[in-house]
Amino acid sequence: MTTASSSVSSGRVTGKVAFVTGAGRGIGRATAIMLAQHGAKVAVADRDADVAQEVVDTIESMGGAAALAVVDVADEDGVRQVIGEVVDRWNRIDVLVNCAGLAGIQKPIHEVTTAEYDRVMDVNVRGIFHTTKYAIPAMTNGGSVINFSSIYGLVGGASAESPYSVYQASKGAVLGMSRGDAMMYASQGIRVNSICPGFIDTPMVAGFLERTGDAAAARTAAAALHPLGDLGEPDDIAYGVLYLASDESKFVTGTALVIDGGMTAA
Ligand code: NAP
């Protein structure tokens, strides 16, 4: 779990308004805190009010600015409402980080139910459609959209023991939507990019490892997939988001930033 440093610096995203989904745990939490440390005002969006409030409190205790946005990204009306509240409070949105995601089911596709398929797509793909739809009109001064795909949007899973086809389909769709949106909104100064993490040490991955029945052995096996020798930490990804959110990446759009310890190069 990421730990916050003690204060907000004059930073790389000072003055920007960021809306971060899945911000209550894992990579989203690390991202929300890092953006705030670098001067952004951050709307902390998660479906779990308690964990989101903890992140808001952490940011405020550092002297940063945060707003609570309790929402299930699969709920279009809820997304429209919370984005409207952020715009009412801070006038616009500059950075949208679509981090909320479900690992979904680990079953061969012939055993996946339609309801299971729909839930993964509703969160991982439709959720990004919802937030992008309502955030883009609020990006009145240009902006940066950062969508979470995965190495599993790029390559197949590690083995037949970990069938992940529906998740992979959802993360491939994120790459396509990101490229399309990048072209659509470039003329408005709105950049759209994806991030493809390898295995990162988060509650999502902890759940994945536990479901194997031998979490320690599964962790060792997962670490071995990465030439750099271990799972990544949430901050390893948050630094990538910070770059894409900042004006340092003003010439970057329509791309996918792979942060995977070398996994997909192996
Ligand atoms: P995580 O530890 O499960 O945290 C995700 C957060 O998003 C949780 O607080 C979760 O709430 C919330 N969330 C889930 N569904 C939501 C919804 N419908 N609406 C609002 N909030 C929702 O996940 P993570 O590992 O940080 O992953 C973050 C993103 O990176 C995901 O898109 C994931 O697919 C992607 N990714 C992760 C890895 C990795 O190795 N960790 C690798 C590649 C890509 P609940 O806990 O209540 O579900």
Q: How far is the CA of 46 from the centre of ligand 1 (A)?
A: 9
- Give me the pLDDT at residue 3, please: 44
Find the catalytic residue in 152, 164, 167, 185: 167
Q: What is the pLDDT of residues 190-232, one digit of tens each?
A: 999 999 999 999 999 999 899 889 999 999 999 999 999 999 9
Assigned domain for 165 exists:
yes
- Give me the pLDDT at residue 238, please: 98
Measured from the Cα of 122, ligand 1's closest atom is 18
- For residue 157, what pLDDT band results from cuts at 50, 70 and 90? confident
134 catalytically annotated: no
Would you say residue 162 has pLDDT above 80?
A: no
Assigned domain for 90 exists:
yes
- Which residue among 27, 29, 97, 152 has the greatest number of ligand 1 atoms within 8 angstroms of its CB, and so is best to mutate? 27
Assigned domain for 2 exists:
no
- Which residue among 71, 102, 128, 204 has the greatest number of ligand 1 atoms within 8 angstroms of its CB, and so is best to mutate? 204
Residues 6+ apart with CB under 8 A from 7: 37, 62, 63
Contact of 4 with 24, CB cutoff 8 Å: no
Residues 6+ apart with CB under 8 A from 52: 23, 24, 44, 45, 46, 68, 69, 70
Assigned domain for 109 exists:
yes
- Structure token digits, residue 235: 């901050």
CATH number at residue 171: 3.40.50.720
177 phi/psi in degrees, rounded to 5:
-65, -40
Assigned domain for 107 exists:
yes
Assigned domain for 159 exists:
yes
- Give me the pLDDT at residue 1, please: 39
Half-sphere exposure of 69 (CA within 13 A, CB side): 31
Assigned domain for 55 exists:
yes
- Which residues form the domain of 220? 17-258
Q: How many domains does the chain have?
A: 1
Q: Which residue has the tokens 């980080």?
A: 97
Contact of 71 with 45, CB cutoff 8 Å: yes
> CA triplet 215, 48, 198: central angle to 5 degrees?
40
Summarize the confidence of residues 139-152 as an average pLDDT.
98
Q: What is the pLDDT of residues 6-63, one digit of tens each?
A: 566 668 999 999 999 999 999 999 999 999 999 999 999 999 999 999 999 999 999 9
Assigned domain for 75 exists:
yes
Contact of 134 with 79, CB cutoff 8 Å: yes
Measured from the Cα of 123, ligand 1's closest atom is 18
Percent of the chain with pLDDT over 70: 94
